[in-house]
Amino acid sequence: MDDILRIRLELDDAITYGDFPKARRLSREGLNISKDRELLGEAEYFSGQAEILNENYVEAIKHFDRAIEYNPRDGASYNDRALCMIEMGIIDEALPYFDKGIEAEPDFATIHHNKGWLLNKIGRYKESIAYFNKALELDKNRAVTYENLADAYLQLDNIGPALDALHKALEVLKPQYHHIREELLDKIRNIQGRPKRF
């Protein structure tokens, strides 16, 4: 695996699990390597990441658009552009960018996950489950996807699969994320304590 791909994957993981100091370090590292190697599209991508971390979503979108111009097959740039749009409250227009990202890079689990996450947030639970399952088909070790899958099942009052997904999230969660482990255990306890519906 080359340095750029490794940094991209580690950065995605750091942002997903809220390790923002690590994410900032990785975005700087990726930007420096990209500039040294004169990889203009990668430099735009990492510049966009830095802007996201500073909550400058308009500037981040500009960088992702330039990254896409350099490399139309960069699914992550479409994905991250969509996430910036969501942060700015532009929800409906974000969905097509996830689709473009999936078309550009169909084997990148994060894009499927994020489209599922948005569909779940806007109440399209059954559709979201399909995207979460696709993300897990591509990467079976995505604890965050199992957690979101559990939420979609809960929205549909499908308790058994929700608990299964939360237990799977605990199984694959990296050990350094102690606070997330506690959150998952709390969710399981809360679900098990719910009164049964008849």
Conformation bin of residue 139: beta by default, left when phi > 0, alpha when psi is -120 to 50? beta
Could you tell me if 59 and 130 lie in one domain? no
Could you tell me if 57 and 12 lie in one domain? yes
Q: Strand runs (DSSP E) across 103-190, as ranges?
A: none
If you ran DSSP here, which 8-state letter would residue 157 be given? T
CA distance 27 to 47: 7
Could you tell me if 81 and 2 lie in one domain? yes
Q: Which domain holds residue 19?
A: 1-90
Note the pLDDT tens digit of each residue in 157-188.
Answer: 999 999 999 999 999 999 988 889 999 999 99
Could you tell me if 83 and 55 lie in one domain? yes
Could you tell me if 54 and 129 lie in one domain? no
How confident is residue 198, by pLDDT bands cut at 50, 70 and 90? very low
Could you tell me if 113 and 81 lie in one domain? no
CA distance 146 to 153: 10
Note the pLDDT tens digit of each residue in 183-197.
Answer: 999 999 999 886 655
Could you tell me if 126 and 178 lie in one domain? yes
Helix 75-87, helix 40-53: angle, nearest 10: 30
Closest CA to 55 of 19, 13, 87, 90: 87
Cα–Cα distances (Å) from 87 to 24, 75, 84, 90, 102, in that order, read: 19, 19, 5, 7, 20
Number of structural domains found in the chain: 2
Note the pLDDT tens digit of each residue in 91-137.
Answer: 989 999 999 999 999 999 999 999 999 999 999 999 999 999 999 99
CA distance 85 to 60: 10
pLDDT of res. 193: 81
CATH number of the domain where residue 143 is located: 1.25.40.10
